[in-house]
Structure 1
Amino acid sequence: MKLAVVGGGSTYTPELIDGFARLRDTLPLTELVLVDPAADRLELVGGLARRIFAKQGHPGKIVTTGDPDAAVADADAVLLQLRVGGQAARQQDETWPLECGCVGQETTGAGGLAKALRTVPVVLDIAERVRRANPDAWIIDFTNPVGIVTRALLQAGHRAVGLCNVAIGFQRKFAALLGIAPSDVHLGHVGLNHLTWETSVRLGGPDGAEVLPELLAEHGDAIADDLRLPRPLLDRLGVIPSYYLRYFYAHDEVVRELRTKPSRAAEVAAMERELLTMYGDPGLDEKPELLAARGGAFYSEAAVDLAAALLGGGGGSPVQVVNVRNDGTLPFLPDDAVIEAPARVDRRGAAPLPVPELDPLYTGLIAAVTAYEDLALEAALRGGRDRVFKALLSHPLIGQSAHADTLADQLIAHNREHLTWA
């Protein structure tokens, strides 16, 4: 079994490698190819990856290359974790929107749109290479904004499933609070990528005992602190929003914070420099503790589970939270929208499971952001300042024409080198 990782030079990658090594019975890889245009980074990451495999006794071969065609040739699955423009582009995404009093963030609002415009064309080019090499290969997208990127892939007819670590992070945290195994926690996780709510938490299976009220009553303070949202808000909602909902529920507070502290991009860039120095140590043969602060917690477990289920062979959980075509699951959205929800996953792909009717408080925001994603994808595929403006105007975190005009000009100015039409 061969798997390729596009963006294999990411400092995330040792987290993924550690999961492949530990869970080799679930996903028995014979060859893993790391592909990245940044040769220096790739060599450091590839060397550590080989040492991790060797230490844990994994028999698979790890190959590094800068050639995406060679990487995806004969691959059974291709995992996308690329960042077009690197941390420098992310730094811009997180700063120039603040000038208009809007959230600066790499996956939502104006910054998220900028990332989508840079990313979608590159991902579609890679996907075409995968299709030419092996039309039966699965593409697993971990590249943000996952919902828009996955929709672009599915719309172009690729065999793709989107993946985010928010759900598995909640599962692990709730299991720890309840003192049970993570496999016994089943989430009613629903919405769009980075716009989700846990509407139920059941024990033992989808039809098991509901413990969400108990979880909120006994551990609400800890959960609220983790989300950086007021405990009374969680009590009033009766559900647990993802931490990305803070950009919507506490927008102005977040903007004030972002204006007075270093950007997350600056923090990550400094962390990456330290990590790459560590990766160059020939004595290091395990992922360093610092990597946990880099983000992507439990990413490897989620990726292994999804790849194993898609490739068959008895590995992987039959039900997983993924980004998948709506197909009537949320009746207020078009069928071709991409939602994030529990789905049955096997060799045929991912099919979303039925979702209980949602409160208008959630359906309204989901519908609005889906409309934005429609316009964002149109801008990413066809370009043009007017399409960028309309996408920005439609976003609930922007919504004012003067801001949308200013942000459109800023977005294009800061991303011109990545926009073929600009």
Structure 2
Amino acid sequence: MKLAVVGGGSTYTPELVDGFARLRDTLPVGELVLVDPAAERLRLVGGLARRIFARQGRPGVVTTTSDLEAGVAGADAVLLQLRVGGQAARQQDETWPLECGCVGQETTGAGGLAKALRTVPVVLDIAERVRRASPDAWIIDFTNPVGIVTRALLQAGHKAVGLCNVAIGFQRKFAKLLDLAPAELHLDHVGLNHLTWELGVRRGGPGGADLLPELLAGHADALAADLHLPRTVLDRLGVVPSYYLRYFYAHDEVVRELGEKPSRAAEVAAMERQLLDMYGDPALDEKPELLARRGGAFYSEAAVDLAAALLGGGSPVQVVNTLNRGTLPFLADDAVIEVQAEVRGGDGSGPVPLAVPPLDPLYAGLIAHVSAYEDLALDAALRGGRERVFRALLAHPLVGQFDRAEGLTDRLLAHNKEHLAWA
């Protein structure tokens, strides 16, 4: 089996490689190709990847290349983990929205739109080249904003699935709190990428006993602290929201906090420099502890499980980003949602969402609102134009005011001219 990682020079990659090495029985990779235009990063990450494979006794071969077509040719699956513009662009995404009193964040709000505008055209170009070089390959997208990028891929007819680590992170956290094995827990995980709620925590599978009341009764304080939300929010909702919901439920508080401390982009850039120094040490043959602070926890395990299922093995039920197809009746069929799905890899049909019971309007309303924004964001990413950018910003629930949308549009275009061919 051949897998290719586009963006293989990312400091995330050793997390992924560690999973491929440890879980070789689940996903027997014969060749892993890391593809990246950044030659020095690729050299450092590729060297560590080979040492990780060797330490784990992994028989597979790790190769590196800057030639996309050569790297993905004959691949069974291609993982996308890109950051167009690098940490410098992320730094901007997290700062200029604050000038208009809005959250500065790389995947939601105005910053998330900027990232979508930069990213969608690049990903679609890569996907077309993948299709020509390896027409049967599955594309697994971990590139943010995952929902919008995955919809762009599916709309263009690619065999694509979006992946996020939020659900697997919650599964691992809940299992630890309940003193159970993670595989024993099935989450009723519903929403859009980075806009999800855990409506149930079931033991043994979709029809199992719901342990969520027990979890909240015994551990609400710890969960609320992790989410940086008051415990009363969890008590009143009776569910566990994704930590990204804090941008909606405590918007003004978050804006104040972001204005008082260094950006997350600055922290990550400093960590990346340290990590790359570590990766260059020929004695290092495992992922360093610092990588856990970089983000993307359990990404490797989620990626292995999904790739295995798509290629005919592994667990058939996964939390993925895929087409709605009537699952949430208040959304269009071609909207991309993040839910549990049966991944039918053997016959090539991919994920089929599991049934979702009717949602409380408290959640359905926000999902519909953000999904409408994503429609406009994708239109702006595909066709460009100041007015389309403005309409997407005006539609976003974290913006929603005419003057703010105007100011954010001006700033977005000014900070992203080099990445937008039409600007």
TM-score if structure 1 supplies the norm length? Answer: 0.99
Distance 1:405 1:198 in 2: 35
For 1:282-301, what aligned pairs fall within 5 Å after superposition? 282-301=282-301
Which residue does the alignment assign to 2:407?
A: 406
1:349 aligns with 2:347: no
Q: Does 1:321 align with 2:339?
A: no
CA-to-aligned-CA distance 1:168-221 (integer Å, 9 cap, x gap): 000000000000000001100000000000000111111111111111011000
CA distance in 2, matches of 1:134, 1:43: 25
2:373 aligned with 1:375: no
- Summarize the alignment of residues 143-182 of structure 1 with structure 2, pairs less than 5 Å apart: 143-182=143-182
Q: Which residue in 2 is equivalent to 1:129?
A: 129
Matched residue SS, 1:62: strand
Q: Matched residue of 2:79: which SS?
A: strand
Query: For 1:410 and 1:70, how far apart are their aligned partners in 2?
Result: 39
Residue matched to 1:388: 389
Please state how far the C-alpha of 1:316 moved relative to its aligned partner: 1.6
Equivalent positions of 1:180-259 (< 5 A) are 180-259=180-259
Give the residue type in structure 2 aligned to 1:331.
P
Specify the SS of the correspondent of 2:188: strand
For 1:133 and 1:69, locate their aligned partners in 2 and report how far apart those are by CA, in whole Å. 6
Cα separation, 2, equivalents of 1:227 and 1:351: 30
Tell me how far apart the structure 1 counterparts of residues 293 and 239 of structure 2 sit (CA, whole Å): 27
**What SS does structure 2 have at the residue aligned with 1:209?**
coil
Post-superposition offset of 1:67: 1.0
Deviations 1:313-332 (A, max 9, x none): xx321100000100000000
Alpha-carbon distance in 1 for matches of 2:410, 2:72: 37
Q: Deviations 1:372-391 (Å, cap 9, x if unpaired)?
A: 00000000000000000000
AA aligned opposite 2:200: S
Q: What corresponds to 2:36 in structure 1?
A: 36
Question: What is the alpha-carbon distance in structure 2 between the residues aligned to residue 419 and residue 69 of structure 1?
Answer: 24
The partner residue of 1:339 within 337, 340, 343 is: 337
Task: Give CA deviations for 1:10-36 in whole Å, capped at 9, x if unaligned.
Answer: 000000000000001110011110011
Cα distance in 2, alignment partners of residues 310 and 135 from structure 1: 15
2:92 match: 92
Q: Spell out, residue by residue over 1:43-70, the C-alpha distance to the aligned partner (whole angstroms, 9 max, x if none).
A: 0000000000011111111111111111
Match of residue 421 from structure 1: 422
Matches of 2:178 and 2:256, distance apart in 1: 35
> C-alpha distance in 2, partners of 1:137/1:274?
34
**Partner in structure 2 of residue 139 of structure 1:** 139
Report sequence identity in percent: 82
Runs (5+) with no aligned partner, structure 1 = none
* Paired AA for residue 323 in structure 2: R
Runs of 4+ more than 2 Å apart:
none
The residue identity in structure 2 corresponding to 1:101 is G
Letter in structure 1 aligned against 2:206: P
CA deviation profile, 1:103-151 (whole Å, cap 9, x unmatched): 0000000000000000000000010011111221100000000000000
Q: Write the letter of the residue equivalent to 2:409.
A: A
Tell me which residue corresponds to 1:68: 68
Residue 277 of structure 1, CA deviation = 0.2
Q: Equivalents in 1 of 2:395, 2:177: separation in Å?
A: 39
Task: Give how far 1:362 is off.
Answer: 0.5
Displacement, 1:356? Answer: 0.9
**TM superposition shift of 1:346:** 2.2
Cα shift readout 1:393-419 (whole Å, capped 9, x = no counterpart): 000000011111111111011010000
Q: How does 1:39-54 map to 2 (within 5 A)?
A: 39-54=39-54
Partners of 2:48 and 2:186 lie apart in 1 by: 34
User: Once superposed, what is the RMSD of the aligned Cα atoms?
Assistant: 0.5
For these two proteins, the number of residue pairs brought into alignment is 420
Q: Output the CA distance in 1 between the equivalents of 2:275 and 2:134.
A: 34
1:285 CA drift (Å): 0.3
Distance 2:176 2:55 in 1: 29
Are 2:115 and 1:115 equivalent residues in the alignment? yes
Aligned counterpart, 2:9:
9
Mapped partners of 2:377, 2:55: distance in 1: 45
> What CA distance in whole angstroms lies between the structure 2 residues aligned with 1:301 and 1:147?
20
